[in-house]
């Protein structure tokens, strides 16, 4: 692969000793994925003391170049998430949070599960949205009369998903009659397990009509904007099944939503009215609990089972924040983010994708992608991609976010589509197939994947190398002196 040796010309804005560093200790920004929607937020940064007032104003921007700036477009008012226009059915009613027939099918499935009184397996995703979805469902099943001894939970091992054979064997070992798959994403696949069972998939990730396990009941929010998180979808399915679900599970729903959409989300229609809940538990309490539950999955130890147990046992956010192991995990993650927060981005040759490459055993690539996406600005920039080559042996885990400057564009930025098109640019036409099923998954606004290292390098070559006439030695020297990396060293 030919490494990137140049970017467009760079303004010398900062002096050598005035480089900003992102605050990686706890700020009001949660760590997870889909904060790439239209929301107002404040990011907290720290900086070295400027030598004079003239330089103080310059020191407010983390990156300022001809291609990437923070001088423009960062204060434009964007639509609130809940204001995203909803689709309507033939009677004019909004289709939210999912089609009515899917919602009712899910409720009937839960009723039948309780009535059957047979072994039940809950399979939540590892993040706050997935884990709270599982906790909401578990509490609902118990409220409806299912014996807790019949309910088991299984969380994926590090680097695996529900479609891997190892995961399928582990899930089958519980010998469940009913299986609930929550927030795992979905694709066309064989049945969840080979043994006889009934399965319900509750999800909000991008999926086509055929993208679900064979014979599974499927309810998705992905086509019903504003797209509900899996926890919100699960809560709205369960709320009508028992009168105590609302009071018992509303705080769990809020945690899941804040974990995926950020803590600045407005709880306005069509979202449920949680004013009383926030008065009781406070947004600070909800947001703190989010950071505690999210932390274990990001550590090298990957203690997601511990996070699930803490969440399932909790009756309020304060119970989570008293957990010492969760507190220790959060401190670990903050320190690891601090180590990698200053890695500068490199621009693809067309200026549409900013790439940051790190090597960490911690799952922090989503965190760094989200933070850079909140500050990089360019008329051409559409995607911020953070690649982590140290999380899984032989693989690259990467996360993509839509930068704030690109939100609200018409047509909307579609990361999944952009990634797939970039893969088609590769010299080897087989790259797309070799990248596998875990490439370009998730949401249109927040995507990513897990791919072999060799294939990822081919993708990077497609981004950074185009067929063109060789530059003159003078041009190469001029361009080579203006990389983003050099920018951080210039006075």
Instruction: Kindly report, residue by residue over 347-368, the tens digit of the pLDDT.
Output: 999 999 999 999 999 999 999 9
Percentage of the chain lying above the pLDDT 90 cut:
72
Check pLDDT > 80 for residue 27: no
Within 13 Å and on the Cβ side, how many CA atoms surround 302? 14
Under the banding of pLDDT at 50, 70 and 90, the label for residue 210 is confident
DSSP-derived secondary structure letter, 210: T
Check pLDDT > 90 for residue 179: yes
Percentage of the chain lying above the pLDDT 70 cut:
79
Q: Averaged over 218-247, what is the pLDDT?
A: 97
pLDDT of residue 69: 56
Under the banding of pLDDT at 50, 70 and 90, the label for residue 28 is very low
Under the banding of pLDDT at 50, 70 and 90, the label for residue 79 is confident
d(C-alpha 175, C-alpha 155), whole Å: 16
Which class for 322: exposed (0-12), middle (13-18), buried (19 or more C-beta within 10 A)?
exposed
Q: Which tens digits make up the pLDDT trace of 107-132? A: 999 999 999 999 999 999 999 999 99
- Fold of the 41-77+343-487 domain: Diaminopimelate Epimerase; Chain A, domain 1 (3.10.310)
pTM of the shown model: 0.77
Q: Which tens digits make up the pLDDT trace of 461-491? A: 999 865 443 444 454 454 444 444 343 333 3
pLDDT of residue 186: 78
d(C-alpha 250, C-alpha 360), whole Å: 35
d(C-alpha 118, C-alpha 177), whole Å: 6
Tokens 């009781």: give the residue. Answer: 280
- What average pLDDT does the structure give for the chain? 84
| 201 or 77, which is more confident | 201
pLDDT of residue 165: 96
Q: Which tens digits make up the pLDDT trace of 306-354? A: 999 999 999 999 999 999 999 999 999 999 999 999 999 999 999 999 9
Most confident of 200-214, 389-403, 430-444: 389-403
CATH 3.10.310.40 residue window(s) in the chain = 41-77+343-487
Lowest-confidence range among 286-290, 417-421, 468-472?
468-472
CA angle 120, 126, 131 (to 5 degrees): 55
CATH 3.90.1640.30 residue window(s) in the chain = 100-329
| 80 or 278, which is more confident | 278
The closest alpha carbon to 159, from 388, 431, 357, belongs to 388
Q: Which tens digits make up the pLDDT trace of 55-67? A: 433 433 333 344 5
| Rg for the chain, CA atoms, rounded | 23
Residues 343 and 370 sit within 8 Å (Cβ to Cβ): no
Q: Which tens digits make up the pLDDT trace of 268-284? A: 999 999 999 999 999 99
pLDDT of residue 481: 46
The CATH code that applies to domain 100-329 is 3.90.1640.30
d(C-alpha 111, C-alpha 103), whole Å: 13
């Amino acid at each position: 692969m030919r490494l990137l040796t140049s970017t467009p010309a760079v303004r010398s804005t900062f002096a050598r000793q005035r480089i900003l560093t992102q605050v990686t200790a706890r700020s009001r920004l949660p760590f997870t994925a889909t904060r790439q929607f239209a929301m107002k937020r404040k990011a907290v940064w720290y900086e070295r003391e400027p030598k004079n007032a003239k330089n103080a104003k310059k020191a407010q921007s983390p990156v300022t170049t001809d291609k990437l700036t923070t001088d423009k477009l960062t204060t434009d008012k964007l639509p609130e998430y809940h204001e995203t226009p909803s689709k309507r059915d033939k009677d004019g009613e909004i289709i939210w949070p999912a089609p009515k027939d899917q919602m009712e099918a899910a409720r009937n499935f839960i009723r039948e599960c309780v009535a059957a009184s047979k072994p039940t397996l809950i399979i939540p995703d590892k993040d706050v949205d997935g884990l709270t979805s599982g906790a909401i469902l578990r509490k609902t099943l118990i409220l409806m009369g299912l014996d807790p001894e019949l309910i088991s939970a299984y969380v994926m091992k590090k680097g695996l998903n529900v479609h891997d054979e190892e995961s399928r064997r582990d899930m089958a070992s519980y010998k469940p009659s009913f299986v609930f798959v929550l927030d795992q994403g979905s694709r066309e696949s064989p049945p969840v397990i080979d043994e006889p069972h009934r399965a319900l998939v509750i999800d909000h990730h991008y999926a086509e009509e055929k993208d679900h396990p064979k014979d599974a009941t499927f309810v998705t929010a992905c086509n019903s904007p504003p797209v509900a998180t899996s926890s919100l979808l699960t809560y709205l399915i369960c709320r009508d099944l028992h009168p105590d679900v609302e009071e018992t599970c509303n705080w769990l729903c809020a945690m899941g939503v804040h974990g995926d959409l950020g803590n600045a989300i407005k709880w306005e229609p069509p979202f449920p009215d949680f004013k009383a809940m926030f008065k009781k538990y406070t947004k600070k309490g909800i947001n703190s609990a989010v950071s505690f539950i999210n932390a274990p999955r990001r550590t090298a130890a990957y203690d997601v089972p511990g996070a699930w147990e803490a969440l399932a046992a909790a009756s309020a956010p304060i119970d989570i924040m008293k957990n010492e192991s969760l507190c220790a995990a959060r401190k670990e993650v903050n320190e690891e983010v601090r180590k990698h927060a200053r890695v500068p981005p490199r621009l693809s040759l067309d200026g549409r994708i900013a790439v940051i490459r790190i090597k960490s055993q911690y799952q922090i690539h989503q965190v760094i992608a989200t933070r850079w996406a909140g500050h990089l600005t360019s008329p051409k920039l559409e995607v911020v991609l953070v690649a982590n080559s140290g999380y899984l042996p032989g693989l690259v885990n990467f996360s993509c976010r839509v930068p704030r400057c690109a939100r609200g564009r018409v047509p909307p930025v579609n990361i999944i589509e952009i990634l797939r098109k970039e893969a088609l640019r590769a010299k080897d036409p087989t790259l797309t197939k070799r990248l596998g099923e875990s490439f370009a998954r998730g949401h249109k606004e927040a995507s990513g994947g897990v791919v072999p290292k060799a294939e990822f390098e081919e993708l990077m070559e497609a981004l950074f190398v185009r067929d063109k006439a060789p530059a003159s030695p003078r041009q190469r020297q001029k361009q080579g002196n203006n990389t983003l990396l050099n920018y951080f060293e210039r006075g």
